[in-house]
Amino acid sequence: MPFSRIIGTGGYLPERVLTNTDIENLVDTTDSWIIARSGIRERRIVAEDEFTCDLAEKASRKAIQAAGKRPSDIDLIIVATSTPDVVFPSTACLLQERLGIIGPPAFDVQAVCAGFLFAIDVADKFIRTQSAKCALVVGAETFSRILDWSDRRTCVLFGDGAGAVILESSDEPGILSTHLHSDGRFKDLLCVPTGVSRNYQKLQDGGAYVTMEGGEVFRWAVTAMSDIVQETLDANSMTLDQIDWLVPHQANSRIISAIGKRLGLPVNKVVMTVEKHGNTSAASVPLALDEAVRDHRVKPGNFVLIEGFGGGFTWGSAMIKM
Ligand code: UT7
């Protein structure tokens, strides 16, 4: 059975920078509170006429170029997003049309901030079972559109962006293992309680916004993302010192530090981008991975453990040999 390998990464952030000082003008908060409680200094926000698919397209083109491929080489497209352009068609289908790829399957997966891990898992299985040879896997979000900009508990935390990888079939590993979990009992702790089938009138009247019990989510995120690192190591009969890089979901620098401390992983093995991006949900892990690949922290042959945690709750990881 072949493996899937990451052969190219790409990322895109919208041009507009929103600093903590800018947010001080919107809600009762301070730059120092946001930095102290989350580590975030700034985030990117889409322009009025910019949508999730626009970000996905830019990140995808960079990943395709980095992989030395053409769009016509791609035979599977998966987009992880909770902020699709429209209810349907899927953002993956919109992206497929933009890239001029006709025929192969294109679909979205929705697992909020863990979405990219779910998408990687599915793409890896397509490739391993020889249903696809070259997959485009994207995490893309415009969370700024589902934030209540008068709620200081949430609006300071999120940003917009997209990250993408190209996975190719290979005799060499590759993605060594993937691990996914969900627990719907916690559905109310982090959610957008308005939708198409439920509370549609509310959606028409006032919009759909993220609500979060921050403290509870924080505790679960640290526990779940620490435990899944151990699960991933055990599945590969590896120890922590064999990992070159941990690329965790970028929600809060304190969550990332707490995971590192719990595991005993030195900070110089952890990729951290939350300071400049905020929490970009499904885009956070591929954006962080792309940044670390492009600045040569992550090198060919490195063992990289990626992991995410999000609403649902959902969480997942992958052990990757780059
Ligand atoms: O992608 C996965 C989803 N998200 C996450 O993983 C985020 C998880 N949670 C967190 O990152 C943190 O819980 C937060 C950053 C959201 C909050 O940090 P905290 O240390 O847990 O603060 P807190 O919720 O305990 O709030 C402390 C105080 C409260 O005031 P009182 O009740 O103690 O008087 C809040 O009202 O800070 C207040 N507060 C703020 N103050 C200034 C909450 N938000 C703000 C704000 N500016 N933006």
* pLDDT above 80: residue 238: yes
Residues with Cβ < 8 Å from 218, sequence gap 6 or more?
A: 252, 254, 255
For the chain, the farthest-separated pair of C-alpha atoms sits apart, in whole angstroms, at 56
On average, the pLDDT of the chain sits at 97
Q: How confident is the model at residue 207 (pLDDT cuts 50, 70, 90)?
A: confident
* pLDDT above 90: residue 200: no
- Other C-beta atoms lying within 10 Å of the C-beta of residue 226: 20
| Pocket perturbation via mutation, ligand 1, pick of 82, 153, 219, 280 by most ligand atoms within 8 A of CB | 153
Could you tell me the two tokens for 41?
């200094």
Q: Does a cis peptide bond (omega within 30 degrees of 0) precede residue 174?
A: yes
* pLDDT above 80: residue 206: no
Could you tell me the two tokens for 64?
């395709």
pLDDT for res 201: 82
* Residues recognised as catalytic: 113, 249, 279
* pLDDT above 90: residue 251: yes
Ligand 1 atom nearest residue 29's Cα: 47
| CA of 234 relative to ligand 1 center, distance in Å | 34
Q: What is the average pLDDT across 311-316?
A: 98
| CA of 157 relative to ligand 1 center, distance in Å | 9
| CA of 219 relative to ligand 1 center, distance in Å | 12
Protein residue with least CA distance to atom 38, ligand 1? 153
Please give the share of the chain, as a percent, with pLDDT higher than 70.
100
Q: What is the average pLDDT across 131-143?
A: 98
pLDDT for res 31: 98
pLDDT for res 202: 80
Ligand 1 neighbours, Cβ below 6 Å, are: 29, 33-34, 37-38, 113, 152-153, 156, 190, 214-215, 217-218, 221, 249, 251-252, 255, 279, 309-310
Q: What is the average pLDDT across 8-22?
A: 98
pLDDT for res 1: 83
Q: What is the pTM of this model?
A: 0.97
| CA of 112 relative to ligand 1 center, distance in Å | 20
| CA of 172 relative to ligand 1 center, distance in Å | 44
Q: Residue 320 and residue 322: Cα distance in Å, rounded? A: 6
Q: What is the average pLDDT across 262-289?
A: 97
Q: Does a cis peptide bond (omega within 30 degrees of 0) precede residue 89?
A: yes
- Per-residue model confidence as pLDDT tens digits over 145-198: 999 999 999 999 999 999 999 999 999 999 999 999 999 999 999 999 998 888
Q: How confident is the model at residue 199 (pLDDT cuts 50, 70, 90)?
A: confident
Protein residue with least CA distance to atom 41, ligand 1? 29
Protein residue with least CA distance to atom 17, ligand 1? 214
* pLDDT above 90: residue 205: no
Relative orientation angle of helices 284-294 and 115-128, to the nearest 10 degrees: 70
The backbone torsions φ and ψ at residue 132, rounded to the nearest 5 degrees and listed phi first, read -150, 155
Protein residue with least CA distance to atom 36, ligand 1? 153
| CA of 154 relative to ligand 1 center, distance in Å | 8
Ligand 1 atom nearest residue 155's Cα: 48
Protein residue with least CA distance to atom 47, ligand 1? 29
Q: Residue 52 and residue 136: Cα distance in Å, rounded? A: 16
Q: What is the CA radius of gyration of the chain?
A: 18
pLDDT for res 83: 98
Please give the share of the chain, as a percent, with pLDDT higher than 90.
95
pLDDT for res 189: 98
Contact 53, 88 (CB under 8 A): no
- Per-residue model confidence as pLDDT tens digits over 56-84: 999 999 999 999 999 999 999 999 999 99
Ligand 1 atom nearest residue 284's Cα: 1
pLDDT for res 156: 98
Q: Does a cis peptide bond (omega within 30 degrees of 0) precede residue 313?
A: yes
